Amino acid sequence: MGLAVAERSVLVVIDLQGKLVEKVHRAPLVLAATRRLLRIAELFRVPVVVTEQYPRGLGATHPGILEVFDALTVPHRRFEKTAFGCLAEPGFEQLLAELRPGVPAARRQLVVAGIEAHVCVMQTVLEALGAGQEVHVCWEAVSGRGAEYREWALARMQQAGAAITNHESVAFEWAQHKDHAAFKALSALLKEGQLAGEA
């Protein structure tokens, strides 16, 4: 697994919905890290998908996430699903291809945030790895209903070949160099303070 490359990446935010997100381990950290990831994707022109698992039953995406998502100028889409793994849902692979035209699936990188770690996140990650795509899972933006669910899901994803990373590592890999046009804005963003729930 190599470095994250902005020109090959899609940020996939999985099922951060109202009724679900309230129940996960360290929810404030997950939400804060994901909001920051969305802003970083904007800086580096990385397209974004926000998925929603059966929103009629589980509710819409958390308003704090939607606030940042709706303000994006990079290509961004909401995707409703009933399959647990995103790639098992008809149309999801086509959506990724549309967001990254000219990047073959085998060259595409998914940067992943969301819940729940041991269900929809893990199934999506394993499906993507099985399809030959690279996956970078941001540990602080992924959770489940308990610490052990999250811990062992991250371990299984890593064993399967995913890179377990964090939003700052992804950001600096997308930048590659201090002379990147977005680096000053990135530095300012990262200086905004400790993420909620990090302590």
For the annotated catalytic residues, the residue numbers are 15, 81, 120
pLDDT for 119 equals: 97
Per-residue model confidence as pLDDT tens digits over 156-185: 999 999 999 999 999 999 999 999 999 999
- Which numeric CATH code is attached to 6-98+114-190? 3.40.50.850
The mean pLDDT of 98-127, rounded to a whole number, is: 97
The CA distance from 82 to 112, in Å, is 18
Provide mean pLDDT across the span 86-93.
Answer: 97
Which three-class secondary structure state does DSSP give residue 45? coil
pTM of the predicted structure, to 2 decimals: 0.96
- Strand ranges across the sheet with 134-142: 76-81, 48-53, 9-14, 109-114, 134-142, 163-165
Query: Which pLDDT band holds residue 199 (cuts at 50, 70, 90)?
Result: very low
pLDDT tens-digit series, residues 11-56: 999 999 987 898 999 999 999 999 999 999 999 999 999 999 999 9
pLDDT number for residue 196 = 64
- Please report, for the chain, the start and end positions of each structural domain, with discontinuous segments joined by +: 6-98+114-190
Q: How many whole angstroms separate alpha carbon 89 and alpha carbon 101? A: 20
Q: What is the 3-state secondary structure (H, E, C) of 62-108?
A: CHHHHHHHHCCCCCEEEEEECCCCHHHCCCHHHHHHHHCCCCCHHHC
